[in-house]
Amino acid sequence: MVAVVAAGVAYYLFTNGNVKVDMALKSATLYDFKVKGLDGSSIDFAQFKGKKILVVNTASKCGFTPQYEGLERLYKRFSDKLVIVGFPSNDFLDQEPDKDAEIAAFCQRNYGVTFPMAAKIDVKGKRQAPIYQWLTNKSLNGVESSAVLWNFQKYLIDENGRLIKHFPPKTDPEDPAIVALID
């Protein structure tokens, strides 16, 4: 009986909205994650050890879509110490309805994106991807809880795979506050 009650309490404590959070993520760093890339390959975050990582949920039909330009400039400017990983998501007003191959072509054709792009995922709700559970839940990342408010919300990770902080969608990728934390 005690085990059943403990399991219920654990479920309650580690639930983010209606998303059942994987308690194994509690001791994780971003380096513990692997995700599928837009091209079907695997993106293993462990390969980025020693660099800061900017994780951004993206969409092709959003008012913030031009931020791809700033993200690409930031990626090139700090390529020796920063990796940017884009996560296309259709969670906000159907602003990323395309399939992975179409998203990749759009990003390359319109913005010359060269930073890694993950396959389309859910960044909120009942099907929230584990990496976004970690990013948005203080009990997992140890820093802060944050709902993903819209496309192009940014999460900056330090060289050890730990969350530094998040930035709202309207924050320009080259905002001095972001640059100062990278440089």
Relative to beta strand 82-88, strand 163-167 is unpaired
pLDDT of residue 126: 96
8 pLDDT above the threshold of 90: no
CATH number at residue 26: 3.40.30.10
What is the number of other CB atoms lying within 10 angstroms of the CB of residue 141?
23
The alpha carbon of residue 54 and the mean position of all alpha carbons in its chain are separated, in whole angstroms, by: 8
Residue 7 domain-assigned (yes or no)? no
Residue-range definition of the domain harbouring residue 143 = 22-182
Does the pTM exceed 0.85? Answer: yes
Residue 54 domain-assigned (yes or no)? yes
Q: Mean of the per-residue pLDDT values for the chain? A: 90
CB 73 within 8 A of CB 174: yes
Relative to beta strand 154-157, strand 82-88 is unpaired
How many separate domains does the chain show? 1
Residue 13 domain-assigned (yes or no)? no
| pLDDT tens, residue by residue, 93-152 | 999 999 999 999 999 999 999 999 999 999 999 999 999 999 999 999 999 999 999 999
CB 169 within 8 A of CB 150: yes
* Residue 76: partners with Cβ closer than 8 Å, 6 or more residues away: 114
- In the sheet that 163-167 helps form, which strands lie side by side, from edge to edge? 82-88, 52-58, 154-157, 163-167
Q: Which percentage of the chain shows pLDDT scores above 70?
A: 85
Is residue 107 annotated as a catalytic residue, yes or no? no
Three-state SS at 55? strand
Closest C-alpha among 10, 81, 91, 19 to residue 50: 81
Active site residue: 28, 35, 62, 179, which one?
62
